[in-house]
Amino acid sequence: MTLIELAQAIGDVLTQIDTMLQTPGMSDSDWQTLYALRKHLDDEQRDLIGKSIKEADATYQQLTTKLNAASTQLKTVIGDLTKVGNVISIVSQIASYADQILKQV
Amino acid sequence: MNFIRRRQFVQSVGILSLAVLISFPIGCGPEDYQKPLQQFQDSSTVVINTARAFLNNENTIEQDSVIDDVVFQRKPLNLPEIKKIEIISQQEIEIRTKALDALAEYTSNLAQLAHGKAGSAVGDQTKKVSDSLKTLAGDAKKLPATKSTFLDNPKFSGIASAAASAIGDVAQLMVEHRARREIEQSIESNDAAVTALIQQISDDATGSYLRQQAQLGAYGVQLSRDYQIEIGRESGDPILLLGFAKTVKDYRLQESQLASANPAPAIEKMKKAHSALVAYVKSNKDPKTFAELKKAVQDFVSAAQPLGQAVQSLVSAS
């Protein structure tokens, strides 16, 4: 996965989060937590674009695989207001993987 | 805020509407080969202008994002500080768009070669393309490390330099009037460096597009949240709520237009059409290879056309 593809994957996650944040019914504290995570991921996407990395690096590949898996998992719960806790947990994981990738570049 | 953003975007891409108007109706020449080649050049113009528009809009995107966030969080608005946010410099934009111009010129020269016009003029023009890319690579190398992390100038410089050398090798053979077979071989063997440059510019433009998408998404979230807060007030102002409805509709329109303006698929098709042209150059006007070129160019035209249409919609909606 190239860095621009990774930025695209994060963009897809941002789009999913936006859909959730635009859906009424979430508690205020959950909304604020998810919004803060959205801001963090947004910053990470901006920081990733234009960076260079060895795409064959094993750690990078492991992290992007985990990030993609989490992104897929997110799609199964994203619209469900009864699973906001899961959404926040998965988005936190995605942000953490992106953090780790940023430390590599 | 939304109107201001859209107006700025529209201004930065305004040139595209003209490109679209002149691009698609023309292209039919007396000979069969002229049409796909003209279409390739016209679609390249659309893609180049789209990439230029997104890169030009990049600073505005990030500045607007900060403004939206500050207003959303009811924090003090420090416009002089926001004005200092610079993700991409004018010189960085120029280098990248001039590189695309050079690539379009190189493709045009290949087209002339494909029809037996490998004379001195084409050789000289190709050498100029190589020289231009060499200069751009040098300029990119001299740029200070980016203030932000948005662009990797040393990487761009390396890729542009490799493309300049590759095109320079081809130009040299043309200028020396070497055997056609030798020139064709050189074009093919050097083409990886050329397509790598197209890919790099595609990545830069895609990055810019992704940031625009992220910023618009954040804006939609803030808009939706502010609306929820407003309807929760006992003294909600119905006129204000109607204003919200209009702003939400504008946001949705902008969202749909942006979805059609992603330059990445068109640049991917541009790469494929370029490769098909290289194959055609080497085929000695083989009809099967020409049919493949025509199809690749048609795919490119189909991918480029929505870009122009999306920008036209933005212009008419402004």
> pLDDT tens digits for B216-241?
999 999 999 999 888 888 877 888 88
| The overall pTM is greater than 0.90 | no
- The backbone torsions φ and ψ at residue A56, rounded to the nearest 5 degrees and listed phi first, read -80, -10
Q: Where are chain B's structural domains?
A: 2-317
Q: Is B230 left (phi over 0), alpha (psi -120 to 50) or beta?
A: alpha
Instruction: Give the residue extent of every domain in chain A.
Output: 3-104
Q: Choose from B54, B59, B149, B153 for mutation: most chain A CBs within 10 A.
A: B149
Per-residue pLDDT tens for B158-215?
999 999 999 999 999 888 888 888 888 899 899 999 999 988 888 888 888 899 899 9
Residue spans of alpha helices (H) in B27-152: 34-72, 79-83, 90-114, 120-142
Alpha-carbon distance of A57 to B163, in angstroms, equals 26
3-state secondary structure (DSSP) of residue A97: helix
Q: How confident is the model at residue A54 (pLDDT cuts 50, 70, 90)?
A: confident
Task: Check B69 against A52: CB less than 8 A apart.
Answer: no
Q: Measure CB to CB from residue B214 to each of A2, A4, A45 and give the nearest one.
A: A45
Instruction: Give the mean model confidence (pLDDT) for residues A61-74.
Output: 96
A12-50 pLDDT, tens digit each: 999 999 999 999 999 999 999 999 999 999 999 988 887
Window 39-68 of A: residues touching B by CB (8 A cutoff) are 39, 42, 45-52
Please state the rounded mean pLDDT for residues A70-82. 92
Query: Taking a contact as any Cβ pair under 8 Å apart, which residues of chain A between 2 and 41 contact chain B?
Result: 2, 4, 7-8, 11, 14-15, 18, 21-22, 24, 31, 35, 38-39
- Please give the ipTM for the structure prediction: 0.93
What secondary structure does DSSP assign to B169-187, as a single string? HHHHHHHTT--HHHHHHHH
Kindly report the average pLDDT of chain A as a whole number.
93
Q: Which residues from chain B sit within 8 angstroms of residue A19, using beta carbons?
A: none
Residue B61 CA to residue B15 CA, distance in Å, equals: 19
What number of other Cβ atoms are within 10 A of residue B32's Cβ?
11
